[in-house]
Amino acid sequence: MNVITVRALCLIIGYLFGMVQTAFFYGKLKGIDIRKHGSGNAGTTNTLRVLGTGAGFVVLIGDMLKCILAILFTDLLFGSRFPEIVYLIRIYTAAGCVIGHDFPFYMNFKGGKGIACTAGYLCAFHPAFIPMFLIAFLVPFLITHYVSLGSLCIYTGFVIQTVIMGQLGIFGMTQGELIELYLIAILMAALAFWQHRANVARLLSRSERKTYLFKKNQEG
């Protein structure tokens, strides 16, 4: 098995894990199709607004776990055979998971926006990403109550930290492999910004809805 095949398999495995739509299945348990309520998004924020904080927390953990488990699975399959590209294995798996979450074929390619999956990826990719993820999300969210702003800050921090750590030699890869890593990180961020394009427009016009953890459906 060559490294190109490994990359492709990581994408496929990640996609299969990503298709496990926590918000959709949790909503069905509660007797609703989450895509027909609120913003229509099958993700953590819409679940929180429609079904409450507890439901939002369940969906957040579920979507994080599916990416973490996908990465652990591909690490187990390929990590020992290709230790020199273990971080590429992880980011390809995460990219597949986000795509599977955002565009599940059995839901007519209408899923979530991939932020909780990305949070799971950051937890599994390297321990140094965990403080960045928490700070990048919590500081802007707690100040503004805009989930979208915190989500986009996560991706901005993710790309910046990936490049810094890569250039410091922490990932132990060649410059060519690092460029590949950076490009995938940038593409993942670009997808996140595209998925949040309506949110960005509302943020710029100051019409974005605020989210309060303990005030269900309260408007900002």
Domain count, the chain: 1
Exposed/middle/buried for residue 77 (C-beta within 10 Å: 0-12, 13-18, 19+): middle
Residue 214 lies in a domain: no
Q: pLDDT tens-digit profile of 130-146?
A: 999 999 999 999 999 99
* Helices of type H across 75-146: 86-102, 115-125, 129-144
Domain with 57, as residue range(s), is: 3-205
Angle (CA) 168-160-114 rounded to 5° is 130
Q: pLDDT tens-digit profile of 164-180?
A: 999 999 999 999 999 99
Residue 213 lies in a domain: no
Residue 181 lies in a domain: yes
Name the helix (H) or strand (E) containing 183: helix 175-195
pLDDT over 60 at 100, yes or no: yes
Are the beta carbons of 149 and 157 closer than 8 angstroms?
no
Distance CA 63, CA 139 (A): 22
Residue 123 lies in a domain: yes
Are the beta carbons of 122 and 158 closer than 8 angstroms?
yes
Distance CA 111, CA 131 (A): 27
pLDDT over 90 at 99, yes or no: yes
State how far the alpha carbon of 211 is from the alpha carbons of 48, 102, 154, in Å: 9, 21, 17
